[in-house]
Chains A and B, each alone.
Chain A
Amino acid sequence: MPAASRFSARHIVFLVVLAAVTLPLIFNLSLTHTVTPETQQVYANIDSLAAGELLLLSFDFEASSLPEVRPLAMALIRHAFSRDLKIMGMSLFAEGTALGEQTIRQVAKEYNKQYGVDWVYLGFRPQRESAILSLGESVSAEFPRDYFGTPTTGMPIFAAADSYAQIATVISIADGDMPSYWIEYAVSPHAVNLQAAVTASMATSFYPYLQSHQLKGLLAGLKGAAEYENLIERKGGGARGLYALSVSQFVIVLVIIAGNVVERVRRRRN
């Protein structure tokens, strides 16, 4: 193919993708979709917890994947607070630290949850392996002060739980392979009840762990967020993003077909 036509074909693809991503967001396209068993499993796990039980949410992602991961986190936190569960937040990624705090704080305001009693944000810990292992010994020893520098020992939320043994479930909200570290260093030595909420591109990496029950539930990408929003009956960024994502995925399929048709036509001509 001449350089000029290759250039224009690529730019047509770019324009089509731009339209596919933006138009569903502008026109608020609405599509119905079913809930996958993986999402249903996460919902059922959290729904089965009694009021007052504790969730440890680890915000293990970078700012680059925030648009995909934040709807997952929001839906999970909304479900947890609506069930009167308590939340401890932390991050094993420096970048995820502030984003995690902002996300929990926003939802905590919606549900009038009190800091230190209903939720706490512990902040960032470097060296994921040792941080995950240390939490198994004592959360307050690993985090003597919270994200804001307040001593954690006197907080009411720590009266109920201080190690994995008292934490009902750990959820790693991640854009990479961090849940596998939680599996290696929290599930294997401490039998932690672990679930993961990950970007769609990382989801396939965790199906083997889901099948081996080392992972108790898996939420994947905007589709997972939209499904979860359906289950908690509260639409949010997941549903909005899913429509744009679905159209762009469909466009990519058409682009693959178009690429092959063009290739066939060119071969016949030659």
Chain B
Amino acid sequence: MINRIAVAVAFVVGIFMVAQYFISSEISGRLYNLLLDYYQIIFAVTMIVGGISLVRYHGAQIRRDADSRVYSIVTILAVAFMVVSASIAGTGPTSPYQWAFNNLQAPMQATTFSLLAFFVASAAYRGFRVRSTPALVLALAAVIVLVGRSAFGDMISDKLPELAGWVLNNPSATAKRGILVGIGLGSVATALRVILGIERSYL
């Protein structure tokens, strides 16, 4: 019964959101804004569910897994600190929450992300092997874009940046456009399946 109600709600809301795009009336506008508000409220509730799930998972890890216990303790303490400090002192520029974000979270994330440069270089050394014609084309395109879009491109030849631009604007954009059209059609098909109650995996 509950599933049927959920499918009915999805159908009515889905049809309305499609229809309101073509209707310009005050009532549909108000209803549309109300639904957008509910959308954000539901998202806020899912954050609570996510928080509970995270604490439960790491609580279980602390009990079960001695090797990764310390990481789970740090995770829970970090979450608790951010939530409690934000609740007590707010999230303003001088708050402890902001201090932790600026001095701990941001540098740690930037450091982790910067390691990517080393892994990309290592992967390029081991993985970019020219063993076939398509691999040669791929490697050439990569070299043209890498050099053409760096400051060295202009030093080598003023045609190189142009060539890199051509690669990005033509073969690359063409392939990307095809993918985007495919994604768009897939999204419409999935939305229709959800609205019509054929796709019920979200239940």
Contact = CB atoms under 8 A, between A and B. Distances in A.
Interface of A: 9-10, 13-14, 16-18, 21, 31-34, 36-37, 62-67, 95, 98-99, 101-102, 105, 125-127, 129-131, 133-134, 137, 141, 148, 189, 200, 203-205, 207-208, 211, 223, 226, 242-243, 245-246, 248-253, 255-256, 258-260, 263
Nearest to B43: A127
Contacts of A17: 117-118, 121
24 contacts: A10-B125, A31-B152, A31-B155, A33-B154, A37-B165, A63-B106, A65-B113, A66-B110, A67-B110, A67-B114, A98-B102, A102-B93, A127-B39, A127-B43, A148-B92, A207-B169, A208-B176, A208-B177, A245-B150, A249-B150, A251-B121, A253-B143, A256-B125, A259-B126
B161 A13 contact: no
Contacts of B91: 98
B111 to A, nearest CB: 9
Given A31-B155, A127-B39, A260-B128, A249 B147 contact: yes
Nearest to A175: B113
A64 B176 CA distance: 25
The B interface, classified by DSSP as helix, strand, loop or mixed, is helix
B168 interface: yes
A184 to B, nearest CB: 9
A92 B105 CA distance: 18
B173 A207 contact: yes
Contact of A259 (B117, B128, B152, B169): B128
B68 to A, nearest CB: 23
A208 B105 contact: no
Interface string B169-194: 10011001100100000000000000
A93 to B, nearest CB: 12
Contacts of A189: 21
Contact of B125 (A9, A33, A64): A9
B146 A243 contact: no
B130 interface: yes
Contact of B152 (A101, A127, A129, A246): A246
Q: How large is the interface on B (under 10, 10 to 19, 20 to 34, 35 or more residues)?
A: 35 or more
Given A63-B110, A248-B117, A260-B129, A200 B169 contact: no
B113 A256 contact: no
Interface string B140-173: 0011001101111111001001000100110011
B197 to A, nearest CB: 22
Contacts of A211: 169, 173
Contact of B40 (A63, A130, A200): A130
B201 interface: no
Nearest to A10: B122
A127 B44 CA distance: 9
Interface string B88-117: 000111000010011001100110111001
A186 B118 CA distance: 38
B31 interface: no
Given A207-B176, A258-B125, A253 B29 contact: no
Contacts of A260: 128-130, 139
B110 A98 contact: no
